[in-house]
Amino acid sequence: MTADLHTLSGAYAADALDPVERQEFERHLAACESCQQEVRELQATAAMLAAASSEAPPTGLKDSVMAEIDQTRQERPLVADDLEARRSSRRLEPISRRIIGVAAAVLAIAVVALGATVVTLDGRLDELRATSEQLQALLAAPDTQTLALEGPDGIVGRVLVSRAEGLAVLHATGLSLLPAESDYQLWVIGEHEFVSAGILGVDDDGSVTHAIRRGLSSAVALGVTVEPAGGSPQPTSEPILTADLST
């Protein structure tokens, strides 16, 4: 899980991640203090590799650079105290520019994703229609409960469950993408047994929505484990996510 992301710190410091992984790692980095410390040190180490390649630039470069900075407006510092005062005017400009930058990046990713997705779009539409119908059924059921998924920091999830309908829908975000040799598998946990409720199809953004239609009447909990690709008949590891259905 996160251990998998931790090990990317070296490749990140050496700029050896592709743009999507770089973004994913930076999202992780924002929340992981031990990685921040490690990345600081490894980037400083990489800087030593850079220094070992130092080479005098062409003589004209300094003049060109000095001439260009003379024409280049500097970014304002981000000052927390000033934020309120600036919000009305000056701060708006860089923020809006940043939003446009983010929007452009999102759009670029969306365009790439679209190309890859178009083929499977029909299948996805069917899935979405099914999910939508299940959610409608849950919203209409009189006994539907919302339960939290318990798990590591960074994963946020809920389960909507109706025993009357014999239906539950799990939704979670923040799941790490697993290597090809592993899958997330969902289990309906009874008093005496684990019954598989299928492999979780995690989207590239780490989110998943998954319906459970069987075994809920006698279930006491739901659990998600990491299993070899394709899943296991019985869990081979401890659940990383659980939801208590016994209440």
Partner 1 sequence: MDSRARRLRVAAPPPTARDDELLARVARGDQESFAELYDRYASVVFGVIRRVLRDPTQSEEVAQEVLVEAWRIAARYDPERGSVRTWLCTMAHRRAVDRVRSEQASRERIERIAHDQHNAEGDVVSDAVTSRLERQQVRDALGTLTDLQREAIELAYYGGHTYREVSELLGAPLGTVKTRMRDGLIRLRDAMGVSA
Rounded to the nearest angstrom, the gap between the alpha carbon of residue 126 and the centroid of all alpha carbons in its chain is 24
Q: Structure tokens of 8?
A: 């990317």
51 near partner 1 (CB under 8 A)? yes
75 near partner 1 (CB under 8 A)? yes
Residues 23, 31, 64, 229: which binds partner 1 (CB under 8 A)?
Answer: 64
Binding mask 171-190 for partner 1 (x = CB under 8 A): --------x-----------
Distances (CA, A) of 32 to 28, 50, 202: 6, 26, 22
In the complex, minimum distance from the CB of residue 57 to partner 1, in angstroms, rounded to a whole number? 4
Q: Which is nearer to partner 1, 46 or 226 (CB)?
A: 46
Q: Which is nearer to partner 1, 123 or 180 (CB)?
A: 180
Q: Structure tokens of 92?
A: 């708006």
**CA–CA distance, 46 with 49 (Å, rounded to integer):** 5
Give the DSSP letter string of 61-82. HHHHHHHHHHT-PPPPP--TTT
Residues 3, 30, 34, 48: which binds partner 1 (CB under 8 A)?
Answer: 48
In the complex, minimum distance from the CB of residue 88 to partner 1, in angstroms, rounded to a whole number? 20
**CA–CA distance, 24 with 194 (Å, rounded to integer):** 33
Q: Where along the sequence are the contacts to partner 1 (CB under 8 A)? A: 7-11, 13-18, 37, 40-58, 61-62, 64-66, 68-70, 72-78, 179
